[in-house]
Amino acid sequence: MKTEASTPRSHFYNSVSRYFDKAAQVTDHPPGLLDLVKSCNSVYRMRFPVKDDNGDIQVIEAFRAQHSHHRLPCKGGIRFSEHVTQDEVIALAAIMTYKCAIVGVPFGGSKGGVCLNSRAHSPEFRERVTRRYTAELIKKNFIGPAIDVPAPDYGTGEQEMGWIADTYRAMNFNEFHPYACVTGKPLRLHGIPGRTEATGLGVFHGIREALRRRHLTEPLGLSSGIEGKRVIVQGLGNVGFHAARFLQQDGALIVGISEMDGGLYAPKGLDVPAVKEWLKENGTLRDFPGAEFVESPSAVLERECDILVPAALENQITAENAPRIQAKIVAEGANGPVDFAGEEILLRRGILIIPDLYLNAGGVTVSYFEWIKNLSHVSFGRMTSRYTESAKVALVEAMEQLTGKRLSDDLRQKVSAAPQEIDFVHTALAETMAIAFHNIYDVWQTQDLEDMRTAAYYFAIERLCDSYAAHGIFP
């Protein structure tokens, strides 16, 4: 039996620590402050009984790590996986801290994990586990709108977040903002439009920002822009599917898709929605028409492409397979898909890595918007949309009077339409990802740092140290 110290999840934790240390050594901050930024503040490891559908009792192991309390609440997802470990959630919580700092979201990082294969259990059992896990978090004050706000992650989604919100509300009946205890909720439970696709859309915006810099694309032999770029995506879940969909809509050619039981490769391109529908109906990518089925999921990552988007789990590119990666850009849609040793090989080979702590930040950004909405108890645009539409109509009418020409009904409607809540969400996410990329790129160039990940960690460390200084912890 493997000890936690030898598991891939512990390997992931060590990679995150080494990435931090690599950036920290080029800063001017004292060791004590850097140790404070790096250390995980709190970890709650729990075991609780849950009755299975057949009446048997199962003891569930679960975790919640709060990496940083420099700002509250803490923020981070909850994953359901039979392989989840304490080291894994600590590493993911640390990435969340740095991620929030990069995109300017006022949260500390956290992460939760439940040792459960959600696909192997009924919805009823998952509900009992989720509600009991929430109750355990409440008992130890590890959840709340001003304390720690979970969100979906691997193996969880809107339904689990709805159960968490309902359980929290039932156990905190005097709470004025009960639905702000969790994000990623269904719309009918005060969620926000755009949250489902937020992480994948953030991946798209991050890749687009990188491809706009000729300084980055020309050394790789690539033209600027997404149009015509050959892309392989690992993972057709929430992140991978939406990243692939938006990239395809902007002109990219999705030549490969990898899932757990194998993958597809088609040099002429794949129809992403069609592949998703095939997977949903058949439970496998096998026999999808017009594409080569590759038995080994990892082998798809090694096929020829311009951009590789690992959007599944951590440690997918290591020292073992990094020499065989043919992509010119590795865009980390998942958390920690490239380990420290694998990254060194990719960098030596001249491959550009767009790091996870920037590229994966779309989800927490839109979760921030949902949290604000829940605290204010009003949707974005409710107070302004009709006024905006009226102002646009008045402007159109004034222009028509001045020119003596009338717009067509279709054009008139398009020009005068008021923004909906999802429009606010999508444009704010695009702006956030653009500003964050500019900040990282600027630090990368001005500080003459080795790579984009080091620049991202450097920028996050600077912001976190400034935050602690503002609290008077360090001068």
pLDDT at 122: 94
Mean pLDDT across 234-249: 94
pLDDT at 473: 65
CA trace torsion 91, 46, 136, 60 (10° rounding): 100
Mean pLDDT across 205-225: 94
**List 111, 185, 229, 373, catalytic entry:** 111
* C-alpha closest to that of 332 among 12, 5, 9, 8: 12
* pLDDT band at 106; cut points 50, 70, 90: very high
Residue-wise pLDDT tens digits, 31-86: 999 999 999 999 999 999 999 999 999 999 999 999 999 889 999 999 999 999 99
Is the pLDDT score of 8 beyond 60? no
* pLDDT band at 7; cut points 50, 70, 90: low
Mean pLDDT across 283-300: 90
Is the pLDDT score of 471 beyond 80? no
pLDDT at 3: 43
Residue-wise pLDDT tens digits, 409-462: 888 888 888 888 999 999 999 999 999 999 999 999 999 998 999 999 999 999
DSSP summary character for residue 76? E
Q: Is residue 71 a part of any domain in this protein? A: yes
Is the pLDDT score of 9 beyond 80? no
Write the CATH number for 144: 3.40.50.10860
**Kind and range of the H or E run holding 77:** strand 74-80
Is the pLDDT score of 223 beyond 90? yes
* pLDDT band at 10; cut points 50, 70, 90: low
DSSP letters of 277-305? HHHHHHSS-TT-TTSEEES-HHHHTTS--
* pLDDT band at 225; cut points 50, 70, 90: very high
Question: What share of the chain in percent tops pLDDT 70?
Answer: 97
| Domain with 154 in it | 42-189
Q: Is residue 161 a part of any domain in this protein? A: yes
Q: Is residue 466 a part of any domain in this protein? A: no
Lowest mean pLDDT, pick from 60-69, 158-167, 394-403? 394-403
Is the pLDDT score of 276 beyond 60? yes
Of these ranges, 233-237, 282-286, 368-372, 418-422, the one predicted with the greatest mean pLDDT is 368-372
Compute the distance between CA of residue 113 and CA of residue 61 in angstroms, rounded to an integer: 9
* pLDDT band at 283; cut points 50, 70, 90: confident
Q: Is residue 159 a part of any domain in this protein? A: yes
Domains contained in the chain, number: 1
Q: Is residue 256 a part of any domain in this protein? A: no
Question: What share of the chain in percent tops pLDDT 90?
Answer: 78
Q: Is 111 a catalytic residue?
A: yes
Is the pLDDT score of 394 beyond 90? no
Using DSSP bridges, classify how beta strands 292-294 and 148-152 pair: parallel, antiparallel or unpaired: unpaired
Q: Is residue 329 a part of any domain in this protein? A: no
Query: Does residue 2 sit in helix, strand or coil?
Result: coil
Helices 31-38 and 8-24: crossing angle, nearest 10°? 150
Is the pLDDT score of 169 beyond 90? yes
- Burial string for 253-272 (b: 16+ CB within 10 Å, else e) reads bbbbbbbeebbbbbeebbeb
Q: Is residue 165 a part of any domain in this protein? A: yes
Is the pLDDT score of 268 beyond 70? yes
Average pLDDT, rounded, for the chain = 92
Compute the distance between CA of residue 54 and CA of residue 60 in angstroms, rounded to an integer: 16
Q: Is residue 18 a part of any domain in this protein? A: no
Mean pLDDT across 296-307: 93
Number of alpha carbons in the 13 Å side-chain half-sphere of residue 115: 17
DSSP letters of 410-423? HHHHHHHPPPPHHH
* pLDDT band at 360; cut points 50, 70, 90: very high
Mean pLDDT across 106-129: 95
* C-alpha closest to that of 107 among 137, 67, 135, 142: 67
Task: Enumerate the β-bridge partners of residue 352.
Answer: 329
